[in-house]
Chains A and B, each alone.
Chain A
Amino acid sequence: MNKDVKISINGVAYEKSVPLRMLLVDFIRDEAGLTGTHIGCTYEGRCGTCTVQMDGEAVKSCMLLAVQADGREIATVEGLASNGRLHPLQEAFNEHHALQCGFCTPGILMNTEEFLKENPDPSEAEIRRSLVGNICRCTGYDHIIDAIQTAAKRLRQA
């Protein structure tokens, strides 16, 4: 049982016929070939590393069918940098050593990019709560918090 869908990812339209049961994360990785969006918990909706933005809002792409994104605009980590320049969040993660293995990083970036638009000057506690849906097993989160604070400051000044 297939359906024709047209899903825009980072501004590029992908027109495919997909099985109805295909999850959005598999469309992004296997149909569009954008493997920056990761699968960390075998589609259980727990780890958050498959987080992308749909029409500007952070969602876990293993929690949606690809057909639910038909006609929608998806943003993934591959679209964060622009004109050869890393996004301020990516720069701050680099500077603060906010990743070790890096597996969770794409999801954290896509969640946090929206979070900082909603709350441009968050407290440490607010940042920690914003990350409840994103599990990192390496860093202990402290450097991630530092990086988000630095990026928030630069984005406010930009």
Chain B
Amino acid sequence: MYPAIIEEYLAPATVADALAAIAKHDGEATVFAGGMSVMQAIKARLIEARCVIDLGNIAELRGVSVGPDGAAIGPMTRYADLVRDKKLHGAYQALNDAASTVGDRQVRNRGTIGGSLCWNYIAACMPPTVLALDARIELTAPGGGKRTVPIGEFFLGALETVRRDEELMTKITLPAAKGKAGSSYKKWSTQVDGLPIIGVAVYIETDGSGVCTVARFAVGGILPIVKRSAAAEGQLVGTKASDADGIARATAAAAEELDPQGDRWVQAAYRKLLIQSLGGEVVAKAFERATGGAA
């Protein structure tokens, strides 16, 4: 595994310069975010990277801000930064959970949320997490034209998204919680912090008495792409943290509706079991974060 010849390497300092470089190469350049997935593909010669455009020097693409209108996350924010960011606690805490279990320390020091979303690996941790958080993705084209895509329309299939080759992901926004909100993510892998067989992210909003008013239940590790379970979400609305039977019915509904596949590692029935088991844990944790442990 070693990269083939690379003819040009550019490390622009601004989004405008990066977009101009991408346009100049007719969208044929290979763009590096953290590079943890794309470098493997280059070394394995799955990608021919004749020109590399490295986004690592673009400060304006990094950082997290949380305010009354919700959260804004720069796509070049690294996992290591997300892990430590207490501003995300509560409503967006699934991001802390997910970032803390990606790969290993060395990968978390380089890998980015935007890189993971644009790569859209089938079992990655970020896609189900931002799906549960109902993110909106800002894409900017050369010339500065922007469009915003709801996360539910962003992922097309394995390793495919609606981002065009000449576009850059420039912002990830998360809506503000209307009630008390909490979220959580958990995965199960064959080895610690490995790629998940199943990963479940849940977002819960509650009213003053701890009753769920909004629920989003997203699952990664299923074919063809990460999905939400409308059946589980419908069952969760109206439940409380103490309603074990209601929560169990919701996670069973998710396993049924999402109908996961078997493969050479695990049977379909095992993925169903994981959706229910992990789903129960993350729903409980999301309730706890929403209500501060009350109810």
Binding site for B on A (CB under 8 A): 1, 3, 19-21, 23, 42-45, 48, 51, 57-60, 63-65, 67-68, 111, 114-115, 128-130, 132-134
Contact = CB atoms under 8 A, between A and B. Distances in A.
24 contacts: A1-B6, A1-B7, A19-B5, A20-B52, A42-B1, A45-B36, A45-B40, A48-B106, A57-B80, A58-B105, A59-B106, A59-B109, A60-B106, A63-B35, A63-B39, A63-B40, A65-B3, A67-B9, A68-B35, A111-B105, A132-B191, A132-B192, A132-B193, A133-B104
Interface string B92-111: 00000000000111110110
Given A1-B7, A23-B3, A63 B103 contact: no
A20 B50 CA distance: 10
Interface of B: 1-9, 11, 32, 35-36, 39-40, 43, 52, 54, 56, 80, 103-107, 109-110, 191-193
Contacts of A67: 9, 11
Contacts of B52: 20, 65
By CB atoms of chain B within 10 A, which of A51, A59, A132 has the most? A132
Contact of A43 (B2, B9, B106): B2
B9 A65 contact: yes
A3 B9 contact: yes
B268 to A, nearest CB: 28
Contacts, number: 84
Contacts of B7: 1, 20
A124 B106 CA distance: 19
A114 B104 CA distance: 13
Label chain B's interface by main secondary structure.
loop
Contacts of A65: 3, 6, 9, 39, 52
Given A20-B7, A21-B4, A65-B3, A129 B36 contact: no
